[in-house]
Structure 1
């Protein structure tokens, strides 16, 4: 399902890509300024009791994202990786993409078909196989 493309191929393929674009590092070479959603998402989550945040993370994310125009590039999604939430962050990102066109800057790294968040041994460490998600990872 998911695929990985080189940044240099993005211009040629961009019109054909209908899934979530996940940028890794090279976004800085574009004339696009990503918008951090860290603070607004944290503020939305603070309105909810801690025991209900896992269930409401997706709706909070959609609420925050709705404040921005289509095709916005977002960053600062680290709050979504709070180990207490126990959610599939990449699944939330791809499901939201079905209703709103946007792209995201990945806050971790990419290696051998995996998007990685944090470092092994830390409670927020997660790996996601690109091929299992409806995304195009731009490296």
Structure 2
């Protein structure tokens, strides 16, 4: 089997983060190299205020020894947040989980190297309207202090 046959490009636009992460973790453990595009448009369901408070509260957890040197280190970018969710679904301390995690690539938008490829959209992970709403990973990342590279360079 060709190595390109074992590669999957997944479009995360309007996908629920947890559902998508579980599918991706399973594919990684099966040996696929998985590329995720448009991760900033993926959503977490729930009331906006509650979701943002939960992510902000997680940042308060610090080490008593030396918070800058000893963790826990929390990701703030949309890519980092999604990678951390997938990492929690893998046996990351075992060789099988480590190699699976290395095969994951996550991108905001669509990089030039993947623009000509066909994207897979999992229908069962797409967000369906509910009374509580949803928040995109981009909005969550901005609320916890992440600054997009476009804004950092432009200023």
How would you bin the TM-score normalised by the shorter chain? under 0.3
Larger relative contact order (CA 8 Å, sep ≥ 6)? 1
Q: Which has the higher helix share?
A: 2
Q: TM-score, normalised by structure 2?
A: 0.25
Larger radius of gyration: 2
